[in-house]
Amino acid sequence: MREGQTAVIHRADYRPPAFWIDSVELCFDLDPQKTRVLNRMRLRRNPSMPAEALRLHGEELNLARVLVNGQGASFKLEDSHLVLENLPEGHEPFDLEVFTTCAPAKNTKLMGLYVSNDSFFTQCEAEGFRRITYFLDRPDVMATYSVLIRADKAKYPVLLSNGNLVEQGELDAGRHYARWVDPHRKPSYLFALVAGSLVAREQRITTRGGKDHLLQVYVRPGDLDKTEHAMNSLMASIAWDEARFGLPLDLERFMIVATSDFNMGAMENKGLNIFNTKYVLASQATATDVDYANIESVVGHEYFHNWTGNRVTCRDWFQLSLKEGLTVFRDQEFSQDLAGEPSARAVRRIEDVRVLRTAQFPEDAGPMAHPVRPDQYLEINNFYTVTIYEKGAELVRMMQTLVGREGFARGMKLYFERHDGQAVTCDDFAQAIADANPDSPLARLLPQFKRWYSQAGTPRLSARSRWDAASGTYSLTLSQSCAPTPGQPVKEPFVIPVQLGLLDASGAALSNGLHVLTQESETLTMSGLSSEPVPSILRGFSAPVCLDYPYTDAQLLLLLAHDTDPFNRWEAAQRLALHRALQAVRDSGHVELDAPFIEAMRGVLRHPQLDAAFKELVLTLPSETYIAEQLEVVDPQRIHAVREAMRQQLATALRHDWEWAYEAHHDTGAYRPDPRSTGRRALAGLALTHLCLAARLSGDPVWPGKTLQRFKDAANMTDRFNALSALVTSGHPLAAQALDRFHGQFKDDALVLDKWFALQAGAPDRGGNILPLVKQLMQHPDFNIRNPNRARSLVFSYCSANPGAFHRTDAAGYVFWSDRVIELDAINPQVAARLARALDRWRRLVEPCRSAAREAIARVAAKPDLSNDVREVVTRALA
């Protein structure tokens, strides 16, 4: 192994720590070039472990001093560890003092203590605390923290850490200090410190129990007017967790701080959440409806972690989904509950499932496939995945389905009664939910249900029906299988909750119920029917599986028109479109949409009762990625061409309907990001795109002109951006001036510029024009690859979100990709490794893409000194 390289870590090797750290006193002298950190810990040997040396983690630290009980002590530095062998024997606590320095200004990885816009921030999850000081940097070591921060007062007027502010004051030479004490024990990954020139929106609240709390949202001085929505979302989150799960806010003060340099979305540090600005800042002039919805759910997510993650945390990082799957489930439920009406809830559910199917299903079928509770990793940062998060949330959702909503709330209560203050496992969670519901199918099937945690891969659920007209008997055989994934050649059957309805030939509901499939194959029979029913299988997407049933068009049209389950109604339309797309892809790319399909789409678009938001989802074709997932051999350019041709035909055939849809929905009055007006704006935006597409064929100048006017006059970013996007997507010549104007108008707003970059890099390819444009935009003065949001907006939008443009037969897209992965790896391995995942599914690519992609991955893999992060991704891709 080379220096800095580590070995694969296995879940089975878990051992409790040999020492506990009960309390930590940290003293920071902040300086961008050289920050001094004095760390005084109180430790004791873990009585249940044999005596051994203390091995503290540390990375990129300069060690100045080590004292044990105030005395100089002997120590060794061994590959990223500080090792102390001669510690006091016995089980008495002792003091260990470690003095180190680090260089925050040089920290481009954005892990540990770093500088962004002249302020200090920390990011400790998963293993960033060891870049601040030597420590037992693992989640099962929980300590209380007292933090003294000293810094220049003019440059860093605000000094924050977890917990409560207990003292602050002046020091010599223009410096000042603040002392924070966090009363709650926590693992080191939840530590946070912020120092800088920041301002806060403040809100005092009294919660149900009569306690007063101070809520603060800290941002850079010019951004205060963009914090109202985040604050409202925070208040809604607090109220929701109390109402739905009886979980109160346990802190006097709860702070959110925004930073524009952040690897992920946000971080749930105890009492001091640190957020990517993208998930805090919103004003109607700069943020879209989607941004507003994301802020609501991310603020909720981080807040909900306070119980699911912080009060009860993970024993080790293999249990990551314990907190992430559960907390995503909670934020999804929160967003659904806030949406209110059943139809608005269904829209949220469809959006969540779309994410699962376009991102998680491919992951589960590719080289990085891993169980929700993985068995091994090289770099834990690579396991913050859609599998851990989104599939993990689906497992929790299935548990709720199996025990009922109230039963689930009981299970949560028991989970906290048993485990508050502990670091536990996914098993502990499932056990608590089952034990609180002893008569439920979950309790009965728990060992089998837990295969969802241990087996990777998306199960395939096949359904086959038989109708015996003579006896009026209908039978449905449900069978399950699951393809091998890396390291798991054979899978045992899963517990699959199948919500199942039957409709009669006129579309009337015949039955609805939950069938829990546990065998490889089971047959359900219903008799006394007068005609063959149509099955509505997996209502609400009751399990994260791929459903295979040979639906006819007539059945799908019936479901689209009549199913009482909105999810399956949407799904029926997706299947109608998917069948046609797949047919066309197999038929050398030729598409001609048939009248029944077009009429069905028209029927939805013009439907007098359906919500605009739902219509928008139905009329959006399945994504290129989702279409690709259904194929053995993937030709991304052909898929792109087919989908574009289908859009074009829908645009032309429904032109008058799109005109009507635009006129009927474009005026949403004073801006409010509520479900109803959000849905109307979304449908109006989709209409504009189709009207611009139709105009491209007909040469009609009216709608592009109107779209440009709409772009100029729009009163909010959603309408403005939708108009801009319609011009860009349709490739209209007016797009150029609109893009220029947009840049000029928003050049000082980083988050809006991200949209500007992303829109161009994600636009439909026309004759290979996108890659040269992306390369040109990399030279733009506003581009900066060191800023993760900006890198994502340009490089990721091209490599990971624009398959038709990225998979070029001349391999130039892959060469560009490998250059960027290598470039980013030297700056920020976490971001580089995410980009590296863009070629996960290379094996299914059609030639010559397949060979070219393999070559590009091999080129990255051959680079010496790769980070663990990128090395793990490319090695698995080539394995």
Question: Choosing among ligand PHE, Zn ion, none, which partner's interface includes residue 266 (Cβ < 5 to 8 Å by kind)?
Answer: ligand PHE
- Give the Cβ contact number of residue 401 at 10 Å: 19
For Zn ion, which is the closer residue by CB, 314 or 870? 314
Q: How far is the CB of 257 from ligand PHE (least distance, A)?
A: 13
Is residue 789 within 8 A of residue 755, CB to CB? The reply is: no
- Indicate whether 123 belongs to the interface with ligand PHE (CB under 6 A): yes
- Indicate whether 132 belongs to the interface with ligand PHE (CB under 6 A): no
Q: How far is the CB of 699 from Zn ion (least distance, A)?
A: 50
Question: Choosing among Zn ion, ligand PHE, none, which partner's interface includes residue 384 (Cβ < 5 to 8 Å by kind)?
Answer: ligand PHE
> Catalytic pick from 125, 127, 268, 302?
302
Does an H or E element contain 575, and which?
helix 566-586
> Where in 269-328 is the site for ligand PHE (CB under 6 A)?
301-302, 305, 324
Single out the segment in contact with ligand PHE by CB under 6 A; choices: 214-222, 258-266, 421-429, 765-773.
Answer: 258-266
Please, what is the angle between helix 441-449 and helix 426-435, to 10°? Answer: 160
For ligand PHE, which is the closer residue by CB, 162 or 648? 162
DSSP conformational letter for 537: E
Cis amide linkage into residue 535, ω under 30° from 0: no
Single out the segment in contact with ligand PHE by CB under 6 A; choices: 216-224, 231-239, 259-267, 369-377.
Answer: 259-267
Residue 569, CA atoms < 13 Å, CB-side half-sphere: 22
Q: How far is the CB of 223 from ligand PHE (least distance, A)?
A: 21
Collect all residues with Cβ–Cβ distance below 8 Å to 520 and sequence separation of at least 6.
Answer: 479, 480, 481, 493
Q: How far is the CB of 123 from ligand PHE (least distance, A)?
A: 6
Question: Choosing among ligand PHE, Zn ion, none, which partner's interface includes residue 123 (Cβ < 5 to 8 Å by kind)?
Answer: ligand PHE
Q: How far is the CB of 189 from ligand PHE (least distance, A)?
A: 8
> Where in 373-392 is the site for ligand PHE (CB under 6 A)?
384
Question: Choosing among Zn ion, ligand PHE, none, which partner's interface includes residue 264 (Cβ < 5 to 8 Å by kind)?
Answer: ligand PHE
Q: How far is the CB of 60 from Zn ion (least distance, A)?
A: 26
Q: How far is the CB of 726 from Zn ion (least distance, A)?
A: 34
Residue of 795, 801, 782 lying closest to 825 (CA atoms): 795
Q: How far is the CB of 768 from Zn ion (least distance, A)?
A: 39
Nearest position to ligand PHE, beta carbon: 264
Please tell me the distance from the alpha carbon of residue 229 to that of residue 220, in angstroms, as a whole number.
16
Cα–Cα–Cα angle for 96, 21, 140, nearest 5°?
Answer: 145
Query: Quick one: tokens of 505?
Result: 């030939």
Binding residue count for ligand PHE, defined by CB under 6 A = 12
For ligand PHE, which is the closer residue by CB, 263 or 730? 263
For ligand PHE, which is the closer residue by CB, 114 or 384? 384
Binding residue count for Zn ion, defined by CB under 5 A = 2
- Give the Cβ contact number of residue 63 at 10 Å: 15
Residue of 262, 324, 33 lying closest to 128 (CA atoms): 262
Is residue 118 within 8 A of residue 261, CB to CB? The reply is: no
Q: How far is the CB of 378 from ligand PHE (least distance, A)?
A: 16
Q: How far is the CB of 727 from ligand PHE (least distance, A)?
A: 36
Please tell me the distance from the alpha carbon of residue 646 to that of residue 693, in angstroms, as a whole number.
11
For ligand PHE, which is the closer residue by CB, 299 or 517? 299
For ligand PHE, which is the closer residue by CB, 123 or 188? 123
Cis amide linkage into residue 359, ω under 30° from 0: no
> Where in 288-347 is the site for Zn ion (CB under 5 A)?
324, 327
| Strand partners of residue 480 | 461
DSSP string, 216-281: EEEE-GGGGGG-HHHHHHHHHHHHHHHHHH------SEEEEEEES--SSSEE--TTEEEEEGGGT-
Single out the segment in contact with ligand PHE by CB under 6 A; choices: 237-245, 264-272, 508-516, 634-642.
Answer: 264-272
For Zn ion, which is the closer residue by CB, 324 or 629? 324
Please tell me the distance from the alpha carbon of residue 70 to that of residue 464, in angstroms, as a whole number.
74
Determine which residue in the list 125, 364, 616, 629 makes contact with ligand PHE, applying CB under 6 A: 125
For ligand PHE, which is the closer residue by CB, 308 or 425? 308
Residue of 267, 380, 284, 386 lying closest to 325 (CA atoms): 386
Question: Choosing among ligand PHE, Zn ion, none, which partner's interface includes residue 312 (Cβ < 5 to 8 Å by kind)?
Answer: none
> Where in 589-608 is the site for Zn ion (CB under 5 A)?
none
Query: Quick one: tokens of 740?
Result: 């220029």
Question: Choosing among ligand PHE, Zn ion, none, which partner's interface includes residue 237 (Cβ < 5 to 8 Å by kind)?
Answer: none
Determine which residue in the list 267, 299, 734, 835 makes contact with ligand PHE, applying CB under 6 A: 267
Backbone CA torsion sign across 394, 400, 401, 402? positive
The contacts found for 515-519 with CB under 8 angstroms, 24 or more apart, are: 515/478, 516/402, 516/441, 516/445, 517/461, 517/478, 517/480, 518/445, 518/448, 518/493, 519/493
Please tell me the distance from the alpha carbon of residue 298 to that of residue 367, in angstroms, as a whole number.
29
Collect all residues with Cβ–Cβ distance below 8 Å to 591 and sequence separation of at least 6.
Answer: 580, 581, 584, 642, 645, 646, 649
Q: How far is the CB of 274 from ligand PHE (least distance, A)?
A: 8
Determine which residue in the list 264, 426, 516, 591 makes contact with ligand PHE, applying CB under 6 A: 264
For ligand PHE, which is the closer residue by CB, 43 or 258? 258
Q: Is 302 considered catalytic here?
A: yes
> Where in 53-112 is the site for ligand PHE (CB under 6 A)?
none
Query: Quick one: tokens of 525?
Result: 């029979």
Measure CA of the first residue to CA of the last residue in the chain; give whole Å.
Answer: 19
Collect all residues with Cβ–Cβ distance below 8 Å to 430 and sequence separation of at least 6.
Answer: 399, 442, 446, 449, 450, 453
For ligand PHE, which is the closer residue by CB, 185 or 323? 323
What is the chain's alpha carbon radius of gyration, rounded to the nearest angstrom?
28
Q: How far is the CB of 361 from ligand PHE (least distance, A)?
A: 21
> Where in 557-596 is the site for ligand PHE (CB under 6 A)?
none
For Zn ion, which is the closer residue by CB, 289 or 324? 324
Question: Choosing among Zn ion, ligand PHE, none, which partner's interface includes residue 694 (Cβ < 5 to 8 Å by kind)?
Answer: none
Determine which residue in the list 266, 461, 463, 811 makes contact with ligand PHE, applying CB under 6 A: 266
Is residue 145 within 8 A of residue 22, CB to CB? The reply is: no
For ligand PHE, which is the closer residue by CB, 111 or 691? 111
Determine which residue in the list 25, 127, 268, 616 makes contact with ligand PHE, applying CB under 6 A: 268
Please tell me the distance from the alpha carbon of residue 25 to that of residue 96, in angstroms, as a whole number.
10
Per CB under 5 A, residues contacting Zn ion are 324, 327
Active site residues: 302
Interface positions with ligand PHE (CB under 6 A) = 123, 125, 263-264, 266-268, 301-302, 305, 324, 384
